[in-house]
Amino acid sequence: MASSGKRAVILGAFSISITMASYLAYARLSNADLRKLAESFTLSSILISMSLLLMSETLKAYRLYYISKVLGEPVSFSSTIITRFVGNTAGLLTPGNLGAEPVRVLTLASLNGVKIEKLAAAGVLESFYDIVVAVAISLAASMVFLPASLPVLIVSVIIMALWIAGLTGLVYREGFWKKVIKGISDRLPEKYRGQVLSRYKDFTLAVTAGLNPKANVICFTLTIASFFLIALSFIPLAGIIEDSKGMEMFHRAMDFVSGYSMSFVMSFLPTPGGSGFFEYGLGVAMEKELALAWRMVFILFSLTPTALILLFGVRIRKTIISNLKKSLGGETSQTSYGPSEY
C-alpha cells in the first residue's frame, strides 16, 4: 500500500512536470510574449474566469446526477460535484485524460454505495455527450482555420469513427462486445465468469437505457450550455491581453468555443492531460498569449478544488486518495462499494 502511494505521488509529480514543460515548450515555439502574458494576470480576471468554469462544472455535475437518476442509481448532487473535480485532476495527470472517467466512476460509487456497472455506463454517457459536441464544433471550426487546424481535423475524424464503432457495437451489435468480454471472462477463474458476463449485461442495458430521446435532449442542452460558459471564461483574460473593443463579442465567443472544443479533442493525445496538444488546439483559434493564459487558469482550476477537498474533506479523503492511486499507480481495486459518509 505504501509503495503504491509513493509510486502514485511520483507519477503525479512527473505528470505535472511534463504538463508544465509542454506548456513552456508551446510558449517558446509559438513565440508568445511571456512578459505580456505574465502582466496580463490580475486577481479579478482569474477569479471571474474560475467562477465561470465553476458554473460550467456545476452544469456537468448536474448532468451526471441526472444520468445516474435515469439509470436507476440515484446519487447525491454534492457527490457528483466532488467527483467532477477529482476526475478533472486525474485527467490532467494521466495520458490523454484517460484517468478522468474511471476515477469519477470509482469515486462516485464509493461515495454513494451504488452499482459500479451502472455508474460506468453513466461515465460512458457523459463522455459521449462531451465528445459529440466537441467533435461537431471542432470539425466545423477546422474548416475555417485550415491549414493550422489540419491536425485537429484528423484527430476529430479518428475520435468520431472510434466512438461510432464502439457505440454501434455496444448498443446495436451487442454480440461483438459480448464475445470480447466472454473471451476475457473465459480466462478468469470459473467462479468469476458468470459474474463478469452478468455485470457486462447490466452495463450494456444501462447504456442503451440512457440513450433515450428525452435524456439526450436534456443532456445535450446541458453540455452545450457548459461549453458556452467555458467560452465566457476566456473573456476576462481576453480583455486584459488585447484591446477587443472594436470586435463583436459574438465572433470572439465563437472563437473561444472553437478553441476550447479543438483543445478538448487534442487532449486525447498521449501526454498528461494532452499537454502541448491542448495548447495547440487553443492557439489555432486565438492569440497564443490568450491561449496560454486560459490554459494556466484551467490547470489551477483542475488542481485547486481537489487539493482543498483532500485538505478539508477528512471523511472522503481516504476514498479519493484510494481511487487516485488506482488511476496513477495501477493499484488493484480493494474498494468496498458500500455507503460512504461524507
Q: How confident is the model at residue 96 (pLDDT cuts 50, 70, 90)?
A: confident
d(CA 113, CA 342) in angstroms, rounded, equals: 12
Please tell me which of 78-87, 110-119, 176-185, 233-242 the model is most confident about, judged by mean pLDDT. Answer: 78-87
pLDDT over 70, % of the chain? 74
Total count of domains within the chain: 1
**C-alpha dihedral, 94 to 98 to 100 to 105, nearest 10°:** -130
Q: Considering the domain boundaries, does residue 172 fall inside one?
A: yes
Q: How confident is the model at residue 334 (pLDDT cuts 50, 70, 90)?
A: very low
What's the rounded mean pLDDT across residues 116-142?
A: 90
Q: Considering the domain boundaries, does residue 277 fall inside one?
A: yes
| For helices 116-144 and 100-112, angle between their N-to-C axes, nearest 10 degrees | 150
Residue 108 has pLDDT above 70, yes or no: yes
User: What's the pTM value of the predicted model, to 2 decimals?
Assistant: 0.81
d(CA 63, CA 52) in angstroms, rounded, equals: 17
Give the SS3 label for residue 272: strand
- pLDDT tens for 262-295 read 999 999 998 888 888 999 999 999 888 888 999 9
Q: Considering the domain boundaries, does residue 7 fall inside one?
A: yes
- Which of these, 319, 325, 311, lies nearest to 339 by C-alpha position? 319
How many CB atoms are located within 10 Å of the residue 177 CB?
Answer: 16
How many CB atoms are located within 10 Å of the residue 251 CB?
Answer: 10
- Which of these, 340, 306, 316, 334, lies nearest to 99 by C-alpha position? 306
- Burial of 7-19, coded b for 16+ CB within 10 Å and e otherwise, reads ebeebbeebbebb
- pLDDT tens for 298-313 read 999 988 887 777 776 6
- Which of these, 84, 44, 40, 43, lies nearest to 291 by C-alpha position? 40
The answer to whether 261 touches 141, Cβ cutoff 8 Å, is yes
pLDDT of residue 55: 96
Residues, the chain: 342
The answer to whether 290 touches 238, Cβ cutoff 8 Å, is yes
Give φ, ψ of 95 to 5 degrees.
-60, 130
Q: Considering the domain boundaries, does residue 262 fall inside one?
A: yes
pLDDT of residue 190: 63
Q: For the residues of 296-320, what is the DSSP string, one character each?
A: HHHHHHHHHHHHHHHHH-HHHHHHH
Give the SS3 label for residue 334: coil
Q: Considering the domain boundaries, does residue 49 fall inside one?
A: no
Q: Considering the domain boundaries, does residue 39 fall inside one?
A: no
Residue 174 has pLDDT above 60, yes or no: no
Find the largest Cα–Cα distance for the chain: 70
Q: Considering the domain boundaries, does residue 341 fall inside one?
A: no
Q: How confident is the model at residue 137 (pLDDT cuts 50, 70, 90)?
A: very high
- pLDDT tens for 27-82 read 888 888 777 777 677 888 899 999 999 999 999 999 999 999 998 888 889 889 98
Residue with cell 484527430: 155
- Which of these, 102, 94, 60, 81, lies nearest to 230 by C-alpha position? 60
pLDDT of residue 188: 62
Domain containing residue 134: 2-30+59-329
The answer to whether 268 touches 155, Cβ cutoff 8 Å, is yes
The answer to whether 279 touches 297, Cβ cutoff 8 Å, is no
- Which of these, 164, 142, 140, lies nearest to 151 by C-alpha position? 142
The answer to whether 118 touches 202, Cβ cutoff 8 Å, is yes
Q: Fill in the amino acid letter for 317.
A: R
The answer to whether 107 touches 201, Cβ cutoff 8 Å, is no
d(CA 184, CA 197) in angstroms, rounded, equals: 10
How many CB atoms are located within 10 Å of the residue 113 CB?
Answer: 13
Residue with cell 479579478: 44
Instruction: Tell how far CA 229 is from the center of its chain.
Output: 16
Q: Considering the domain boundaries, does residue 42 fall inside one?
A: no
